[in-house]
Amino acid sequence: MSPMMTIAKREFRSYFDSPLAYIVICLSFLALGLLFFMFNGGFWQLDRALVSRLFEYTPMGLSFLVVPVVTMRLLAEERRSGTLEMLITLPVKDSDVVLGKYMGALGLVLVLVISTLVYPIGMFKWPWNLGPLDAGPVASGYLGLVLFSAASVALGLLISALTESQAVAFFLTFFVLGALWLFGDLASKANDYPALAALLNYVSFQSRLSNFWRGLVDSRDVVFFISVTVLSLMVAFRALERRKWA
Amino acid sequence: MATDVMIQANGLTKRFGVVRALDKVNFEVKRGEVVGFLGPNGAGKSTTMRILTCFISPTNGSAKVNSHDVFDNPLEVRRSIGYLPQRAPLYTDMTVWEYLKFAAEIRGLDEGTFKKRLKKVVEVCGLAQSLGKDISTLSHGYRQRVGLGQALIHDPPILILDEPTSDLDPNEKAEVLRYIKEIGKDRTILLSTHNLAEVEEACARAIIVSKGRVVADGPLDQIRGTTGRVRYVVTIDEKRAEASNKPPSAVQAQEALERLNGVKSVRELPTDETAHKFELAGAQDSDLRAEIFRLMVAKGWTLLELRRDAQSLDVVFRDLTRGDEKLDRGAGWSAGDDEDEDEEDEVDQKSPAATDEEESDEDEEDDDEDEDEEEAADQKSKGKS
């Protein structure tokens, strides 16, 4: 096994050694269930067998809770406790460390994303069959979720690489991801300033994702998420390397 | 010859902002040498070790480990070494076994080799009872052992140990030192410590750094000889004297001792007894004990104690690094990574071994009192022997 995979495996497993992973998973499922069925003219009032709400609420939960919690400790905690020195002086490249940790954290988030499949499966396959499933938007919605998770975990990792405090990492990630999400809402209210609205839409994760919900896979959106991911990882790598010269 | 040099530092300089942590450090360590890396806190020991393990890069200069350059080939360098950082930072959420397995996997050991090495490492580090325990439940001494185990798991030709015996109890210390001596026969070990007794026990050679410079490098005997002084401790009863003679006052006694041939300096030392205690400095190759005794007889004073010390390593260390600690405490490191190192060091200083100096250091400023430090250090080494 490559050093990168060893680090990823350790990182992924360590989530389950602490209560953190369990709490996060339980809370987010509870919240998702409440939002899906009750909130804002919920599933029952709407009276239509739609899963698109799922794609609307899952990324919110990820932005505001899951990703900040999962990524806050990645590098911040290692730096604070000094384990980073132990890890990096093993024969590993800095890129192995960044990518390994990234994959470990992304793994946990994807487990969560994939578990939400119980909604479409439960509604359209078994035990209930509310009608034929419109597979296209569901598939594109999940593609969007995966791309979104990749980008936000990368951002979280980057922020964790910049600080030594988990709390600071949490709040910064929370703020950045939250802002990138809410920019979408803001854009719809900024009709008087088309340039501003366009800019907000351009950077907003929400606006980018909304295309996926409608079953539209736009290459611009795909490239956007992938670019955010790659760029964040590269900057995180640089931030880790900076210790050598600081 | 060239292949025998396992660690080579060439003009290593490291700056943290404006602070120069290392200043043109040069040294070589050959195969099979166990070298003690000594220095006061903040002298640059950890920084040097971090450079050698490619954790940080030097601002200037170069280093080779197992003939791999730390700039060009960091992975090869790290493969050749086992490294135990200061205070053994480990993942506390793993069990000991998981941790060792993790280190072995990253180092690419296959299952069979790992099992074989694990057996040896467990035996050597005394980890048999704690293999299944969470590292978070272990005492610091045990964590240190796990850290040592991790450094040995791949049977490296070079070991770099940053204060491997701190936080161990005396038995554990002795065991680790014995083991270091044993594996040092066919391996190269660079170990840093501020416990001089350990260096005398385990190492044949020492490198002393101070303020980022190498101030002494050589076999222990040679280093002991560098300051070229012998000290005597003389205690005279202040109440009783022989026959009709009067016991001396402190000034009388000091003056009489100063008049002796070959005495370079006399200082009064504090004592609990009703006595005057003096420290005398003499030349390296002289022996003043007979003269001191004759002086006592002639004056009719009661001699309670007369002792001659060959210069102990403690004293040499103090001489070579004098003023360092105060300086560092005043200035402090300002930049990033080293800041926490310094904090750790401050905590380390409070360890029992260092308390004597710590106390005297804190409230005494002038040179005179510095001699008391030497005394304190001396009593410390007496206690240890």
| Whether residues B34 and B175 fall in one domain | yes
Structure confidence at residue B63 (pLDDT): 95
- At residue A62, does pLDDT exceed 60? yes
B209 burial class (0-12, 13-18, 19+ CB within 10 angstroms)? buried
Tell me, yes or no, if B93 comes closer than 8 A to chain A by beta carbon: yes
Structure confidence at residue B357 (pLDDT): 40
Yes or no, beta carbons of B55 and A92 under 8 Å apart: no
Single-letter code of the amino acid located at B236: I
Structure confidence at residue B361 (pLDDT): 40
| Whether residues B133 and B150 fall in one domain | yes
The stretches of B225-335 forming alpha helices (DSSP H) are 250-258, 289-299, 313-320, 324-331
**CA–CA dist A231, B374 (Å, integer):** 58
Structure confidence at residue B228 (pLDDT): 63
The DSSP result for A84-127, as a single string, is HHHHHTTT--HHHHHHHHHHHHHHHHHHHHHHTTHHHHHHHTSS
Tell me, yes or no, if B219 comes closer than 8 A to chain A by beta carbon: no
Banded model confidence at residue B37, pLDDT cuts 50, 70, 90: very high
- At residue B348, does pLDDT exceed 70? no
Q: How do residues B192-224 score in pLDDT, each as one tens digit?
A: 987 788 888 888 899 999 889 998 898 887 887
- At residue B100, does pLDDT exceed 60? yes
**CA–CA dist B184, B93 (Å, integer):** 32
pLDDT top residue among B271 and A116? A116
Report yes or no: B170 and B185 within 8 Å, Cβ to Cβ: no
The candidate with the shortest Cα–Cα distance to B70, out of B85, B81, B54, is B54
What's the CATH code of the domain at B266?
3.30.70.1340
**Minimal Cα–Cα distance from A166 to chain B, Å?**
16
| Whether residues B192 and B289 fall in one domain | no
| Whether residues B114 and B207 fall in one domain | yes
Yes or no, beta carbons of B106 and A243 under 8 Å apart: no
Mean pLDDT of chain B: 80
Q: How do residues A204-238 score in pLDDT, each as one tens digit?
A: 999 999 999 888 999 999 999 999 999 999 999 99
Banded model confidence at residue A68, pLDDT cuts 50, 70, 90: very high
Structure confidence at residue B249 (pLDDT): 87
Q: How do residues B264-303 score in pLDDT, each as one tens digit?
A: 888 888 888 788 898 888 776 778 888 899 999 988 898 9
- Residue B196's domain comprises 2-224
**Minimal Cα–Cα distance from B89 to chain A, Å?**
5
- Average pLDDT rounded to a whole number, residues B240-267: 85
- Residue A139's domain comprises 3-244
Which ipTM was obtained for this model?
A: 0.91
- At residue B60, does pLDDT exceed 60? yes
Structure confidence at residue A47 (pLDDT): 65
Q: Which of B294, B309, B324 is the last residue of a domain?
A: B309
Yes or no, beta carbons of A85 and B105 under 8 Å apart: no
Chain A residues whose C-beta sits inside 8 Å of any chain B C-beta: 1, 3, 6-7, 10, 14, 17-18, 81-83, 85-86, 88-93, 243-246
Structure confidence at residue B268 (pLDDT): 87
In chain B, the number of structural domains is: 3
Q: How do residues B5-29 score in pLDDT, each as one tens digit?
A: 999 999 999 998 888 899 999 999 9
| Whether residues B11 and B124 fall in one domain | yes
What's the CATH code of the domain at B84?
3.40.50.300
Structure confidence at residue B368 (pLDDT): 42
Contacts of A6 in chain B (CB under 8 A): 102, 105-106
**CA–CA dist B307, B185 (Å, integer):** 37
The stretches of B107-208 forming alpha helices (DSSP H) are 111-125, 140-152, 170-183, 196-202
In Å, how far from its chain's centre is CA A56?
13
Yes or no, beta carbons of A83 and B91 under 8 Å apart: yes
Structure confidence at residue B330 (pLDDT): 42
Structure confidence at residue B57 (pLDDT): 93
Q: How do residues B159-184 score in pLDDT, each as one tens digit?
A: 999 988 887 788 888 888 888 887 78
The stretches of chain A forming alpha helices (DSSP H) are 3-17, 19-37, 43-46, 52-61, 67-71, 76-81, 83-88, 94-115, 118-124, 135-162, 166-189, 194-203, 205-213, 219-241
Residue in A12, A90, A92 to test binding to B, most B beta-carbons within 10 Å: A90
List, in sequence order, every residue forming a beta bridge with B62; answer none if it has no partner: B10
| Whether residues B160 and B246 fall in one domain | no
Yes or no, beta carbons of B55 and A244 under 8 Å apart: yes
Structure confidence at residue B352 (pLDDT): 43
**Minimal Cα–Cα distance from B81 to chain A, Å?**
9
In chain A, the number of structural domains is: 1
Minimum mean pLDDT range among A122-126, A205-209, B77-81: A122-126
**CA–CA dist A37, A122 (Å, integer):** 14
B383 burial class (0-12, 13-18, 19+ CB within 10 angstroms)? exposed
CA distances to B85, B92, B376 from A78, in Å: 14, 11, 39
Q: Which of B276, B293, B309 is the last residue of a domain?
A: B309
Yes or no, beta carbons of A90 and B87 under 8 Å apart: no
Banded model confidence at residue B248, pLDDT cuts 50, 70, 90: confident
**CA–CA dist B21, B16 (Å, integer):** 7
Nearest chain A residue to B89, by CA: A83
Buried b (16+ CB within 10 A) or exposed e, B13-50: bbbbeebbbbbebebbbeeebbbbbbbbbbbbbbbbbb
Q: Which of B309, B329, B353 is the last residue of a domain?
A: B309
| Whether residues B246 and B380 fall in one domain | no
| Whether residues B195 and B275 fall in one domain | no
In the numeric block, the tokens 């980022």 are attached to B212
* Percentage of residues of chain B with pLDDT beyond 90: 34
